[in-house]
Structures are given as structure tokens and as C-alpha cells.
Amino acid sequence: MQKQSPMRRLVLLLAFAAVATGTARAEPGPPWGIPAQPAPPSGAPRGEPAAPSDRGPAPGPGLPVAFAVNVPFAWPWSLAFSAWVGMNDHNAIRANYARYRGPLWAIIPGMLESDGPEEGDIPPDFGHTTDLSVGWDYFPRRLLDGATLEVSALLRLNRLRDRIDSMNVASAEQFTNIYGARALVGWTWRLSDWWFLALSAGGSAGYERGREKVFTGYDFSHNPPELTREGRVSRVALSSEAYLRVGMVFGQ
């Protein structure tokens, strides 16, 4: 019996080693050199993978930004600049600056009858109208592509002198400010990933204040013969509106 005691101890030691080795394989640790993460407490809820989001990019400035100018052939009498800042896939803010000498319906006949854009060929003889506007643009298809709807606030500054004689006396003057709003509908063509062409038309309504002189006719019994009426104005102002822009878009 005494000779079997060491053998029995060896068998017990080998059995204990086998149980320890099996437990270690059932719960493997991290690779060598990487510290082990503490196990969560018993009964604590296990984290679940986050579901993929289908909300798209968050709204805010910085998606697309676009810049455009009016067509170059109109620059002798009109210069305009527009900038769009996208808010999401269908909405943008457009800021616009335009400085022009007269409406197209009055400019084009004078250009056709003259040899070029000389002084007096384009009404008025002197001065400009300046437009400043900021508004909301909506694109049903996608930003800067397809149909366009705009509603904007408008400030129009008229600084015009016309029918100026040799003594630099004008028979027609307009120094007024218009505070109003305008609505436009149009279409934007994407010529490429970068270039686009935008055309819109509509109308504006506002309130005009300032001073003007209006030419009413001739009376050759007077010197000078031009008859004018001048004074301060305070009235409702209605106007047709249109623009044509060619530009580039970034960030889309």
C-alpha cells in the first residue's frame, strides 16, 4: 500500500492539469501584448451594433456652393453675380447682386440701331439701377438641377439721369429706393458635374420712395422747351423680373 501512494498522487496531479488546460481553452485571452478588457458585470445588457442610418447628410451650409454671373454679351450694360449655399438636397439660399442701365426691351432696340454701346444708345444717358436680394430657392428634383422656385427680399436703388442736354441738364431723373419682395420660377440645366445654366422669370412688388423728374413734352414758347414734372414720390412699385446665369457648383 505504501508503494502505491506516490502513483496515486501522480494520477491526481495529471487530472488537475487536464481540467485547468480545458478551462483555459474554453475562454481564450487576447493575443500576446494586448491588455485584456474587463468583462461586463453579470446580468448587464450587452451592446448591439448600431443600425445603418438612411437620413443622408445632415442639413447645413457646406454641401454645395455655387457661383454664377450673367452672360458676357450683356456686360456692357449689365453686370450680375449670384451665389447659392445649399442647405440640403432640395433647398438653398441665393444672394444676388445686379447693376444695370435699363431693361432689355429698351436696350436691345437701341443696340440694333447703333454701331455699339455708345453713350446715349442705351437708356438712360447716365446712371445705373442696383439690385440686392437674398432669398430661398427650392429644387424639387435636386439642388441646382431642374425646376426652380424662388422667393426673396429685394432692395432696388435707382440712380438715373436721362435726356441730358448740352448744359448737363436732365429732363428725366430718378433717385428712388424700392423695398420689396419677388417670386421667380425657372429651370436649371446641369451642363456637367461643374457647370450649369439657370434661367428664371417672375415679378416683384414693393414700396418706392425718393425723388424723380419726369419728361412730359415740348413747349417751344419756353426756353428750354422741355416740359418736366418733378417732386417726391411714395408709391407701390410693380415690376417684371428675369435672370440668366451661367456658373459653377462646388461640393456636390
Reported as a pLDDT band with limits 50, 70 and 90, residue 63 is: confident
pLDDT digits (tens, 9 = 90+) for 202-217: 999 999 999 998 888 8
Q: Does residue 12 lie in a domain region?
A: no
pLDDT digits (tens, 9 = 90+) for 156-201: 999 988 876 666 677 788 899 999 999 999 999 999 999 999 999 9
pLDDT digits (tens, 9 = 90+) for 4-47: 555 555 455 555 544 444 444 444 455 544 555 555 555 545 55
- We report the CATH number of the domain holding residue 151 as 2.40.160.20
Q: CA-to-CA distance for 19 and 202, rounded, in angstroms? A: 87
Q: Does residue 160 lie in a domain region?
A: yes
On the question of pLDDT at 102 being above 80, the answer is no
Are 71 and 80 in contact by the 8 Å Cβ rule? The answer is: no
What local confidence, expressed as pLDDT, does residue 1 receive?
45
**Tally of domains in the chain:** 1
Q: Does residue 90 lie in a domain region?
A: yes
Q: Which three cell numbers stand for residue 124?
A: 438712360
What local confidence, expressed as pLDDT, does residue 171 receive?
77
- 147 φψ region: left (φ > 0), alpha (ψ -120 to 50), beta (else): beta
What local confidence, expressed as pLDDT, does residue 222 receive?
74
Cα three-residue angle 63-68-70, rounded to 5 degrees: 160
User: The cell 501584448 sits on which residue?
Assistant: 33
What local confidence, expressed as pLDDT, does residue 119 receive?
47
Q: Does residue 75 lie in a domain region?
A: yes
On the question of pLDDT at 250 being above 80, the answer is yes
Task: Kindly report which listed range (54-63, 80-89, 106-115) carries the lowest average pLDDT score.
Answer: 54-63
What local confidence, expressed as pLDDT, does residue 132 receive?
98
What local confidence, expressed as pLDDT, does residue 48 receive?
53
Q: CA-to-CA distance for 191 and 199, rounded, in angstroms? A: 13
pLDDT digits (tens, 9 = 90+) for 121-152: 566 677 899 999 999 999 999 999 999 999 99
Q: What are the helix (H) ranges across the chain?
A: 4-26, 104-113
What local confidence, expressed as pLDDT, does residue 233 receive?
94
Q: Does residue 19 lie in a domain region?
A: no
Q: Does residue 46 lie in a domain region?
A: no
Domain boundaries, position 88: 65-168+176-206+234-250
What local confidence, expressed as pLDDT, does residue 137 receive?
98
User: The cell 437620413 sits on which residue?
Assistant: 55
Q: Does residue 81 lie in a domain region?
A: yes
Q: Does residue 1 lie in a domain region?
A: no
Average pLDDT, the chain: 78
